[in-house]
Amino acid sequence: MLASTALQLANKPLLDVASYAVAVISPDEARREAAINALGECQGVQIREFISYPPGIENVSRMLGTNFDVVIVDLDSDPEYAIDLVESISTQGHATVIVYSAHADPDLLVRCMRAGSREFLITPFEPGEMAEALVRASLLRTVATAPKKAGGKLLVFLSAKGGSGVTTLACNYAVSLAQESRKGTLLIDLNLPLGDAAINLGIKSQYSVSNALQNASRLDAHFLSGLLVEHDSGLFVLSAPTELEPIQIADDAIDKLLAVAREGFDYVVVDAGSRLDLQHTNLFDESATLFLVTQIGIPELRNSNRLISRLTSDVGPKLEIVINRFDPHSMDIDETHLTKALTRAADWKIPNNYAAVRRMQNTATPLTEEDTQISRAIQSMTRSLCGKPPVPEKKEKKSHFSLFG
């Protein structure tokens, strides 16, 4: 299974790359030597240096054959030709490509990614940087060559109204699911253009979901794996863009992303925010489980009622209603009226715990790291999916105070 393999690879860097055959291509002796010296940190790696680019792109296959696991390409000698070279090597699929440059040029980085490069390193190399890149390369090769399997479960979080806490729930549900299931779990942030999943989890990524959607025609397991970041919990994340940018999303691009993700992971969790415009995609088909997140308030319940009516059908997703920030002691609407407003009883109630959520947002520490009512409620949701019993409720301590001592 792909994500489990990822964890094993990350824990055994030297074992995974010791037998790797690596080609270093650079017409510049100093830049070539810099890459080779950086590779010297990787014990047992077999290195072959090429003192020039192939004389023509058509000669790439003859020059490299199928002899290398990783090809490291110097961009600075001839960036345009180097990018063509990267694309040719990547298209053949025999090796993972790493590029390096002295210039941190965002446009160049994106062009290299689109051509098929899986790492963009900046010189001078930091200690251990090349070794870490090779470990990630070993993961990419494992993911890319893993056999396809039946689609993983698709779990979509949708908000009945902005501000209902859907991102907080989606992130912590995904972390809990990765921990409880011990299976490959991916979180995709489609709450565009201002998705906050990465901030909630305290992770940074060079790439985002926009890179996947804008390159849907060449999206496969290998390409997708290069866009992901791994959280400390073992959860993999495809984040939203860090910059506010206009993104044209085609339904077929989203469907392609979901299909590739489900081939590689047992569970695919999607933060869809309030994106009702995505209802014509496979996020809303019968293979998905849709968690409709709402709160106890007239606007939220009104929206929920309308959405439940629209989403309840024989050909739609399995629908589960989640009441967030639930506080039975301060309810203006009683249980009977709540059920009537929703047309059915809620499946899950997440307790209100402002302090715990604020700590999570300020420290990027998942709620599951603390034993609270809210963390136990989320764990019960994921344990139910995994076929485990719910987390037992903690009994309130009884006072033994007596007037008579």
Do 229 and 318 fall into the same domain?
yes
Mean pLDDT of 325-332: 78
Reported as a pLDDT band with limits 50, 70 and 90, residue 244 is confident
Do 137 and 226 fall into the same domain?
no
Adjacency order of strands within the sheet including 229-230: 229-230, 236-238, 185-189, 267-271, 153-159, 288-294, 318-326, 348-351
Is residue 405 in some structural domain? Answer: no
Lowest-confidence segment of 30-34, 274-278, 328-332, 397-401 by average pLDDT: 397-401
pLDDT number for residue 347: 92
pLDDT number for residue 164: 86
Do 109 and 215 fall into the same domain?
no
CB-based contacts of 96: which residues, under 8 Å, 6+ apart? 69, 70, 71, 118, 137, 140, 141
Is residue 401 in some structural domain? Answer: no
299 preceded by a cis bond (ω within 30 of 0):
no
Do 193 and 233 fall into the same domain?
yes
pLDDT number for residue 78: 94
351 preceded by a cis bond (ω within 30 of 0):
no
Q: What is the CATH number of the domain that holds 89?
A: 3.40.50.2300
**Burial (CB count within 10 angstroms: exposed 0-12, middle 13-18, buried 19+), residue 110:** middle
CA 372, distance to chain mean position in Å, is: 26
CA 357, distance to chain mean position in Å, is: 21
Reported as a pLDDT band with limits 50, 70 and 90, residue 11 is very low
pLDDT number for residue 285: 86
pLDDT number for residue 23: 93
Is residue 84 in some structural domain? Answer: yes
Q: Inter-axis angle of helices 2-11 and 129-145, to 10 degrees?
A: 160
Do 236 and 260 fall into the same domain?
yes
Q: Do the beta carbons of residue 323 and residue 297 sit within 8 Å?
A: no
Among 227, 215, 229, 172, smallest CA distance to 381 is for: 172
Write the pLDDT tens digit of every residue in 60-105: 888 887 788 899 999 999 999 999 999 888 877 778 899 999 998 9
Do 139 and 238 fall into the same domain?
no
Alpha helices in 40-94 (DSSP H): 60-64, 79-92
Mean pLDDT of 334-342: 84
Is residue 396 in some structural domain? Answer: no
**Burial (CB count within 10 angstroms: exposed 0-12, middle 13-18, buried 19+), residue 235:** buried
Residue 13 tokens read as 């860097």
Is residue 9 in some structural domain? Answer: yes
Q: Inter-axis angle of helices 106-115 and 79-92, to 10 degrees?
A: 30
pLDDT number for residue 5: 36
Lowest-confidence segment of 242-251, 261-270, 287-296 by average pLDDT: 242-251
Separation between Cα atoms, residue 179 and residue 173, nearest integer Å: 10
Is residue 399 in some structural domain? Answer: no
Over 80: is that where the pLDDT of 305 sits? Answer: yes
Alpha helices in 150-288 (DSSP H): 166-181, 197-201, 209-214, 221-225, 251-264
pLDDT number for residue 218: 81
Over 60: is that where the pLDDT of 3 sits? Answer: no
Amino acid present at 290: L
Q: What mean pLDDT is reported for the chain?
A: 84
Number of C-beta neighbours around residue 243 at 10 A: 9
Over 60: is that where the pLDDT of 402 sits? Answer: no
Q: Which residues pair with 320 in a beta bridge?
A: 291
Do 18 and 45 fall into the same domain?
yes
pLDDT number for residue 140: 60
Q: Do the beta carbons of residue 239 and residue 213 sit within 8 Å?
A: no
Write the pLDDT tens digit of every residue in 181-219: 999 999 999 988 788 899 999 998 888 999 899 888 888
| Between 108 and 137, the higher pLDDT residue | 108
Q: Do the beta carbons of residue 164 and residue 303 sit within 8 Å?
A: no
Over 80: is that where the pLDDT of 239 sits? Answer: yes
Backbone angles phi, psi at 80, to 5 degrees: -65, -45
Is residue 391 in some structural domain? Answer: no
Residue 71 tokens read as 């090809």
Do 235 and 306 fall into the same domain?
yes
Q: Inter-axis angle of helices 29-39 and 129-145, to 10 degrees?
A: 80
Reported as a pLDDT band with limits 50, 70 and 90, residue 36 is very high
Separation between Cα atoms, residue 351 and residue 377, nearest integer Å: 8
In the chain, the percentage of residues whose pLDDT exceeds 90 is 40
Is residue 27 in some structural domain? Answer: yes
pLDDT number for residue 1: 35
If one counts the domains in the chain, the total is: 2
Over 50: is that where the pLDDT of 133 sits? Answer: yes
Query: Where among 145, 163, 180 does a domain terminate?
Result: 145
Separation between Cα atoms, residue 112 and residue 86, nearest integer Å: 7
Do 169 and 134 fall into the same domain?
no
pLDDT number for residue 404: 36
Mean pLDDT of 143-147: 51
Do 30 and 128 fall into the same domain?
yes
DSSP 105-171: -HHHHHHHHHHT-SEEEESSPPTTHHHHHHHHHHHHHHHHHSPP-SPPEEEEEEESSTTS-HHHHHH
Among 228, 237, 229, 226, smallest CA distance to 98 is for: 226
Pairing relationship of beta strands 229-230 and 236-238 according to DSSP bridges? antiparallel
Write the pLDDT tens digit of every residue in 342-388: 888 999 999 988 888 888 888 888 988 888 899 999 999 999 999 98
pLDDT number for residue 17: 57
Residue 239 tokens read as 């984040």
Q: What is the CATH number of the domain that holds 292?
A: 3.40.50.300
Q: Is the pTM of the predicted complex or chain greater than 0.85?
A: no
Do 104 and 250 fall into the same domain?
no
SS3 330: helix
pLDDT number for residue 6: 37
Do 108 and 182 fall into the same domain?
no
Over 80: is that where the pLDDT of 147 sits? Answer: no
In the chain, the percentage of residues whose pLDDT exceeds 70 is 88
pLDDT number for residue 32: 95
Write the pLDDT tens digit of every residue in 153-178: 999 999 988 888 899 999 999 999 99
Residue 205: DSSP 8-state: -
The whole domain housing 198 covers 153-385
| Between 72 and 59, the higher pLDDT residue | 72
